[in-house]
Amino acid sequence: MRGNMLAALVFWCMMFLAQGVAAGDTEHWFDEHDFKDVRGDFTGSETTDAELDARLFVLPWLTLEKTSEREVLDRFGPAPSRPGREDRFSHCYVESGSGVAALPAGRGDTVIQVTLADSTRRLRHPEACASVPAGSFPAAGADGLRLGMTRDEVVRLLGEPLHEDARRLYYACNALIPLTEAEKQRQRAMHPTFPAGDSYFSSERSVTVRLDRGRVFSFTLRSNTAAPGFAGL
């Protein structure tokens, strides 16, 4: 496994049982079924090592949970939005020359998911993709994960997937991130009933890697941190 998190982070990486969802419940850009996480028995332990390194979710031109939709539109220009079931927006851009497609999406005003694909030919709605200049997506990958890798290279980078089917590898990890004292004070200032005990942000991360003839033609990164929760709730 790769990477170390700050010692202040308490990571509980939870192993999931994954299963396909019902017919019709599909990923809106690809003709495929989503994976549905069903929490099974797991052993959690406090560690500063993340199963999914935070650097995976930082691209040269976008950082999940930090880059806003407005910043995407300002940088790449307008593009139709085709959000899925869980997102408020989802745009598609295709790079001139390389043909690489990038699809940032989010629930609120912030990008929490991005998909990269080597072309638009497998997308369900390629007509919705706006063209951007060559070089718009430098180093089309994320901290070692890149288009064109073999399955074995992905597994050496990320480890064995939680679920695998004929053309996809799926990884997921949950994190409990303790609030600092300053963050707790900020929450109490906004919410007088905010508990004095331990409290956490809940972070969910996932990576879906798509393969064709044993090589990566697309991958989706998703990172979403929920509002503070409380120990024991």
Report pLDDT digits (tens) over 173-199: 876 667 677 777 776 777 777 666 666
* pLDDT tens profile 69-120: 999 999 999 999 988 777 889 999 999 999 999 999 998 899 999 999 999 9
Residue that wins the pLDDT comparison between 188 and 17 = 188
pLDDT of residue 85: 73
Q: What percent of the chain has pLDDT over 90?
A: 45
Q: In whole angstroms, give the CA distance from residue 213 to residue 226.
A: 37
Least confident residue range of 37-41, 119-123, 142-146, 225-229: 37-41
Q: Is 56 helix (H, G, I), strand (E, B) or coil?
A: helix
Least confident residue range of 44-58, 145-159, 166-180: 44-58
Q: Where are the beta strands (DSSP E) in the chain?
A: 16-20, 26-27, 32-33, 35-39, 58-59, 62-63, 89-90, 93-95, 101-106, 113-117, 130-132, 141-142, 145-146, 163-164, 168-178, 199-212, 215-225, 229-230
Mean predicted lDDT score pLDDT of the chain: 76
pLDDT of residue 146: 92
Q: Is 213 helix (H, G, I), strand (E, B) or coil?
A: coil
Q: Where are the domains of the chain?
A: 16-230
Asked whether the predicted pLDDT for residue 48 surpasses 60, the reply is no
Residue that wins the pLDDT comparison between 199 and 42 = 199
Query: The whole model's pTM is what?
Result: 0.75
